[in-house]
């Protein structure tokens, strides 16, 4: 599948669970990929049935640009506007989703090329150098569309 020429970075907030306990609400920067919905739906339904992982669908199929971003309580209009400004400076690009891969508990479709997503991640990491995700190394494997 091929994504539209103009790629939109979206800010999302979510409360995660780990080992049965709720963690602090986090935020992420993602590129929604609605065209991937039919591809990931069966996997999400299987997960929701308890076969594997966590099948909740709080986040649509997407390419992760930066996670974790900021604590959800720190997201305000100023941060939303700054995210929009950084996103507006990113050049449009096309990508395809063709290769299925897996993280522990997550099935995903890798973007090709990954480089525009890595460049987007770097742009946001530069703007928010104290963001929790900045402490982790960046690699092409970090740009991974998946249904949440």
User: pTM for the whole thing?
Assistant: 0.74
Q: Has residue 4 been placed in a domain?
A: no
Residue 127 falls inside a structural domain: yes
How many structural domains does the chain have?
A: 1
Confirm whether 141 is domain-assigned.
yes
**Could you tell me how far CA 123 lies from the centroid of its own chain?**
15
Q: Tell me, what's the pLDDT at 82? A: 94
Instruction: Give pLDDT tens digits for 52-73.
Output: 544 455 677 888 888 889 988 8
Q: Is the pLDDT of residue 127 over 60?
A: yes
* Helix or strand run (H / E) with residue 142: none
- Residue 36, domain member (yes or no): yes
When mean pLDDT is compared over 38-47, 53-62, 108-117, 118-127, the highest value belongs to: 118-127
Element (H, E) at 25: none
Which domain does 104 fall in, by range? 10-146
Residue 46: predicted pLDDT:
72
């Amino acid at each position: 599948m091929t994504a539209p020429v103009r790629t939109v970075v979206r800010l999302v907030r979510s409360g995660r669970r780990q080992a049965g306990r709720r963690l602090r609400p986090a935020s992420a920067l993602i590129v929604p990929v609605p065209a991937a919905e039919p591809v990931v739906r069966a996997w999400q339904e299987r997960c929701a049935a308890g076969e594997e992982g966590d099948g909740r669908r709080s986040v649509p199929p997407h390419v992760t640009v930066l996670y974790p971003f900021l604590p959800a309580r720190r997201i305000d209009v100023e941060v939303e506007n700054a995210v929009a400004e950084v996103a507006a400076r990113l050049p449009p690009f096309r990508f395809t989703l063709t290769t299925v891969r897996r993280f522990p508990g997550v099935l995903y479709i890798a973007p090709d090329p990954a480089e525009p997503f890595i460049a987007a991640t770097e742009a946001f990491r530069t703007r928010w150098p104290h963001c929790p995700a900045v402490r982790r190394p960046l690699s092409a494997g970090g740009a991974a569309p998946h249904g949440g």
